[in-house]
A and B are shown apart, each in its own frame.
Chain A
Amino acid sequence: MAENKPIGTVLVAGAGISGIKAAIELAETGYKVLLTDSSTQVGGILAKLDYQFPSDHCGMCRMLPMVGREYSSEYCMRKSLYHENIEILPFTEVVSVAGDAGKYKVELKKRARYVNSEVCNELGKCIEACPVETADEFNHGLTKRKAIYKSVPHNVPQLLLIDKSVCTECGECVKVCSTGAINLHAQDEVETREVHAIVLASGVKLYNTKEYEDAKSYAVSPDVVTSLAFERMLSGTGTYRDGIIKRPSDGKPAKKIAWIQCMGSRNKRQNRDYCSSVCCMFALKEAVLAKEKGGDDVETTIFYMDMRTFGKGFQQYRANAEEEHGVRLVRCRVQEVVREPDGNLRIRYFDPETNEFQIAHYDIVVMSTGQVPFDDHRKWAELVNGELSPTGLLATEKYSKVRLAGKQGIFMCGSLMGLTDISEAMASGIAAAGEATSFLNAIGTDKVSFEDIAEPVTDDRQLPKAAVLLCKCGEFAGAEGIDLEMIKNEVMKHRGVGTVHVVNSICSEEGQKEALDVLKKAKCNRLLIGACQPFMYRRKVRDIAKKAGYNSSLVQIFDLLGIARRGTEEASKLAWTRRTITEIKADLESIKQKPALHVQSVPINPTALVVGGGIGGMHSALSLANRGIPVHLVEKSGELGGFAGNQIAATVDGLKPMTMAKDLKLKVFEHSKITVHLNSQVAKTQGTLGAFESKIVSDGNDQKTYLHHGAVIMATGGHEGKTDEYGYGQSERIVTQFEFKQQLESGAIDLSTVENVVMIQCVGSREAGKREYCSRICCMWAIANALKIKEMNPEVRVYVLYRDIMTYGFLEQYYTKARAAGVIFVNYDLNSKPQVEVADGMPVMRFTENILNTEVEISPDYLVLSTGVDPEATNKELAEAFSLPLNDDGFFSEADSKWRPIEFKQIGSFLAGAAHSPMPLPDVIMQAEAAAQKAYTYLSGGSINTARVISTVKDALCIRCQRCIAACPFEARSYNAAEHRIEVDPAGCQGCGMCAVACRNNAAEVSGWSDKQMMSVIDAKLADDLQPSTAS
């Protein structure tokens, strides 16, 4: 290890979920992170959302590290985030960025909170005392807060602050504060930090209905709310407290709710000719939730233009919302909302079902507000001296969604790229971390090494004897309202306690020295420490304990002030003290019965296997190889490049996949770390994370190779689907989009003789029993071909028959461009699909023109079918070989569709690109980078330490029913048929305990959580043996 190398440090600006994900990935890899957020909180928008589709639950904790999880918090992510390598700076703005390529000086302005959170005890007396009330922005003004407040109701720890814009400086809060935490004259602080790389994750400004003129025709009542505000109305920490969705104006139960889509988006007149990508799914989810929470009699209607269900599982969710939940979708953009005298909200719309105007009244109207990106992009471009593209967005390197053009070491992720859903936020966060990691590697920075102090050996046969350390917190605990002397005396009486000691402050160096001395002398084998903010000091305290000879698993830390802080009904010092004593006794029972647990070091073969040699696979391979990881790249065909790399010369947004693939191929073949296996397939794989063995069959079974690798990336790609609908195969004038594109490019079509071209979208797609998903790229293909036709011969009439145009995000501009070029888009639905016959070798067709409500007959020169994207057929064999799951559509199933899109539940296996779902090339590359990063985290260390707390199998009790295997959310349990027993993958197990719940014989047990132990804890909690007399 070179001594002079600095530790790689990255500024992640923005602590929404993509920023958090990027930060966690970097921290996990061993880099230091400064995570800033301009708001008072971390978590961004997601801190406000209780529910995410498709499960309609929260799943934020699923983004926590799966490896090295002991270095970070394992709490609810909406409460807080903690990682040893991450320094979190909320309420902090980046004010300047100087320097270049790997040597950035950033000036950070920490805005004054006026409450010193290191001293504040969060009792909230100041909040009670504050006489100023104002609208609470966290709940979008639906509730009130004080001038001194907790910005997020469910955060731990609570960082209080004063809103100086409403504070009257009356000083009431200062008077009641017992800790002197409040300073009304605090100042903003500016500090300069040096970082090697920067990840921009600041999210995007949302369309504010109070700020923009066009919203005023809708926002005519407090009952017209934004989609985020409605989310707060549904939230348990918002206004939905008694199970009723209420009108904000008068509290009347809301039974009719309407959503208006594209509020602020898809509006060329207002210079917002883009789509905001996520609002359609957001509205669908909210409508489903409104039904579920508000009852069956709640009517939900979504007014939309195109229902953009382009992502994985989106279309199925829409179908379910409509069919199972009765969410009504009306294709009509309405002009205004009128507030009737009785408060009802009147909407007049043209109903395409009946072809008549309808007037409906609603209790609540939700405005699906999107993004307003240009100001943010301009701001960042100025700050980092970056380039703006002609569209007004930060320019990125070609093919990359995360690398800023011409700015080495600066990346972006999340909604700054354009509003993203959770899955894309995760993928982009990981990809940005991946790019940053590669960059830090290239400029020669070092990683943080976890120098573990050797774990003391503890003899389990020794009688348990506990030392108890209580931190006075510099007299603070006493002031807080607990009687430490009384606790000390009571705890000392407890059976199995060796010593009880009160230290002044364990967070200080003297305190730690004192603790070490005491512990060394105490001759105990269990340790219980009471301090404030236990998760902050856990590692430090464990290190002290280890030095003193205590096994880490036998050390427990608890929040000494937790009881007082969270309060009890009888808010007295005596009550708090008694409760604290009970808690300590319960904890003592728990550690007394705990065995010493040990970390296992799992060796990792630092080699990766990438399956699929398309652009995604090649990108993953190169990304890993460039970081020094040996890669086997297996491709079933005789050539690298895949579908796009071998067949698509250019895309509508100016990319040249074939050129790009050519360049990648060259690099792959030249790279000493990459071994390419052409004409090869994986026949069988065995082993677990770190030690897989795969059998590769090459050249039609002629050659068999065994590869050893620590991780695998599935990048199998996809290809254009086939169809037998609409006369395909009966006429050479009926072709697929891809065939048409090739004929156009090769000159096989003489457009000067062509008068009419008809395209049909969603052929065999988004339809029950066929491809039930949206293939995401076909609309863009059709638009590209249509534009090409118009460019070559503007006289050709092009009709595109579509169901929903899926030009999400900034792709919308191409849809606008195509219409401007004269392409006629005709909407159809599944009940009236176009009819095609073939006469004299030419297509003859009928379709419904549903605006004019008439039948159109036409004999086009070409009928072009958008047949969607199919997964590779070999996915099935691969899934079997690797024991990886496929979904009903034949794509691989990721661990979690929102929070873990890049990995499989089976640890050490990852996926990218069309193996996951159909997606455009820049997304494939982003996922490929993300998959490489995930693999890198596992492979780069050479070994992985398992967690102490993992599940075990008691073979003697086990009846091999395998319920535990089904219950395990991490696929860490498997049945070994040869030895007829259940096995646990120690690296995969996350210690969640689901197996222990599922097991009927107590054969599955999480180490350190035995039944006996739990019973003792419960007994201790119930036995309140303190007599009032002794306490007084």
Chain B
Amino acid sequence: MNPQTEANKDLWKAIYNTGDLQHCFNCSTCISGCPASFGDPPLLVRNLARKVMYGLEEALFEDDTPWACVSCSRCEEMCPMDVKPFEMILHIRQWQASNDETRVPPSIVEIYKRGYTQAVGTNVETRQALGLDPLPIITNNPEQLAMFREMLMKTPVIAANDYMFGG
């Protein structure tokens, strides 16, 4: 790897520009107890931080492991340098999704369409059997749902991929 030719030294600014990342001293605390570090390939938060620091754009762009994170935030609790590794993972995902439409999670299409990832409100009979009233969900309120969609359409990733949203 040649950082002069292969790295974008300003990558961290594009990805995680809070100033927290730089404090990382590669101690490995984040990875030693991370659930997704048991995966194959493992999620190695420490290595992701390193890639961002070096600016290894290409390698990071191809890296699927940020999406294996379980969001438990243990790394954030344990990190002695307060790098906030989970936030960094979210930022890496955002950067990938912003630059690669195949990274756009299908769940946001569902949310755009009905307000939720799940089909909330379709289990009418089960709920009735349990003595539950119907929920005041947005799916059943076209006016509110339209406003919600309009709002989302102003946000960057949805705007850039409006075709996915029937727009």
Contacts and interface: CB of A to CB of B under 8 A. Distances in A.
Interface in B1-40: 1-4, 9, 19, 22-34, 37-38
Contacts of B54: 824, 849, 852
Given A269-B82, A851-B26, A357 B37 contact: yes
B31 A350 contact: yes
Contacts of A333: 27-29, 32, 80
Range of interface residues on chain B?
Answer: 35 or more
A827 B46 CA distance: 14
B74 interface: yes
A854 B3 CA distance: 12
B27 A305 contact: yes
A794 B22 CA distance: 13
Contacts of A858: 2-4
A267 B33 contact: no
B32 A268 contact: no
A432 B44 CA distance: 49
Nearest to B31: A350
B22 A357 contact: no
Interface residues of A, number: 40
A423 B117 CA distance: 65
A268 B81 contact: yes
Nearest to B5: A857
Interface string B33-77: 110011000101011001101101000000000000000001000
A821 B24 CA distance: 12
Contacts of B152: none
A443 B78 CA distance: 53
A334 B29 contact: yes
A756 B29 contact: no
Contact residues of A: prevailing secondary structure: mixed
Contact of A857 (B2, B34, B44, B51): B2
A851 B2 contact: no
B104 interface: no
B23 A819 contact: yes
B79 interface: yes
Interface in A350-409: 350, 357
B4 A335 contact: no
A755 B4 contact: yes
A779 to B, nearest CB: 13
A722 B4 CA distance: 29
Contact of B32 (A269, A348, A827): A348
Nearest to A336: B33
A335 B78 CA distance: 7
Nearest to B19: A820
A269 B22 contact: no
Contacts of B42: 357
B74 A859 contact: no
Interface string A836-874: 000000000000010110111111000000000000000
User: Closest 6 interchain pairs by CB?
Assistant: A335-B33, A333-B27, A267-B80, A269-B82, A335-B32, A332-B28
Interface of A: 217, 262, 266-270, 305, 331-336, 348-350, 357, 755-756, 795, 797, 815-816, 819-822, 824-825, 827, 849, 851-852, 854-859
Interface of B: 1-4, 9, 19, 22-34, 37-38, 42, 44, 46-47, 50-51, 53-54, 56, 74, 78-82
22 contacts: A262-B80, A266-B80, A268-B23, A268-B80, A268-B82, A305-B27, A331-B28, A333-B28, A334-B33, A335-B34, A348-B32, A349-B32, A350-B46, A357-B42, A755-B4, A819-B22, A849-B1, A849-B54, A856-B2, A858-B2, A858-B4, A859-B4
Given A269-B79, A350-B44, A857-B2, 18 more contacts: A268-B81, A268-B82, A333-B28, A333-B29, A357-B32, A755-B4, A795-B9, A816-B81, A819-B22, A819-B23, A821-B22, A825-B25, A849-B50, A851-B46, A851-B47, A852-B54, A856-B1, A857-B1
